[in-house]
Amino acid sequence: MTLSDFLALPVGYKLSPDEVEALNKALSKAEPKDIPPEKRSQVIDYLDTALLHSAVGLNIRAVELNIQADLNRLLEELKAAS
């Protein structure tokens, strides 16, 4: 799933595990300028949830370890820009 695919999804759409993995990889390479201002809260909510589940899950890793820092960076930059 690309970032633009995610931003076009209807509210309440449930992502599959493969879609989550692809979206996380896409977001790990994204910059705040890649996300329209009106969609930033959607991405912030997604990242908050994905990173929280990775932090508290015992056997569930919503975010691969090698991209967590990049997703945290994007989350912080989006929050600062909002």
Task: Report how far Cα 74 is from the mean position of its chain's Cα atoms.
Answer: 9
Give the model's pLDDT for residue 58: 46
Mean pLDDT by 10 residues, the chain (82 residues): 94 88 95 96 93 61 83 96 86
Q: Which two tokens stand for residue 41?
A: 């809260």
Give the model's pLDDT for residue 55: 59
CA 40, CA 75: separation in Å to the nearest integer?
Answer: 10
Give the model's pLDDT for residue 24: 94
CA 15, CA 8: separation in Å to the nearest integer?
Answer: 13
Annotated domain spans of the chain: 3-81
Give the model's pLDDT for residue 76: 97
Give the model's pLDDT for residue 62: 65
Give the model's pLDDT for residue 74: 97
* pTM score: 0.86
